[in-house]
Amino acid sequence: MLEEIVKRRSIRKFTDQEVEEAKIEDLLRAAMSAPTARNTQSWRFLVVKNREALNSMVELQPYTGMMKTASCAIIVMGDREASQPDEYLYVDAAAAIENMLLEAVHLNLGTCWCAIGPRAERIKNFRDYYAIDERYIPIAAVAVGYPDEVKESQDRYDPKKVTWYR
Ligand SMILES: Cc1cc2nc3c(=O)[nH]c(=O)nc-3n(C[C@H](O)[C@H](O)[C@H](O)COP(=O)(O)O)c2cc1C
């Protein structure tokens, strides 16, 4: 497992090979297997395959240039009504996203996590473009595709960042 975890890197260049929908479903299955506070399963997912929408995502969030070559984007949202109070929406989403990124490594796919919330202007841009109801907070867009760049595994283990209380 650790071998696959350290293999995960952000991929920002993808081939034009389309990602099979069965693989996208595996990513979503991995996401929905993540833990959530009080088991609220507060996430919702919008799978964007539309080329024009992918090409213009950079207008909604400036650091999503890689979407131009991605096969799809999975927009992860928090459902404010699933969780009251909704203080854990971002944490729930983050756990689901990381599960997706790791399953993608296993499927030889590349991914890049791009933040939307909590930046208000980005949330508004995505709400307006995709007609997302106020009930849902767009939290991140994950670019998915077959990698067209090679990035080395990085073991960032740093004992200086750890305190043991024995
Ligand atoms: C909350 C969050 C937001 C991020 N937003 C972006 C983004 O908008 N655009 C981007 O290209 N990468 C984004 N990244 C990816 C980081 O830049 C990347 O994970 C970091 O540089 C470490 O590199 P690695 O993923 O290859 O290990 C984001 C990552 C996280 C966790």
Distance 10 CA to ligand 1 centre (A): 7
- pLDDT score recorded for residue 84: 80
Spell out which residues line ligand 1, taking CB within 6 angstroms.
Answer: 9-10, 12, 63, 112-115
Average pLDDT over residues 34-55: 97
Confidence check: pLDDT of 13 > 80? yes
Ligand 1 atom index nearest CA of 12: 11
pLDDT tens string 48-88: 999 999 999 999 999 999 999 999 999 999 999 997 888 99
pLDDT tens string 84-131: 888 999 999 999 999 999 999 999 999 999 999 999 999 999 999 999
Domains of the chain plus CATH, in order, are 2-148 (3.40.109.10)
- pLDDT score recorded for residue 83: 76
The end-to-end CA distance of the chain, in Å, is: 27
Residue type, 80: R
64, 102, 113: which to mutate for ligand 1, most atoms within 8 A of CB?
113
**Helix orientation angle between 89-106 and 21-31, rounded to the nearest 10 degrees:** 140
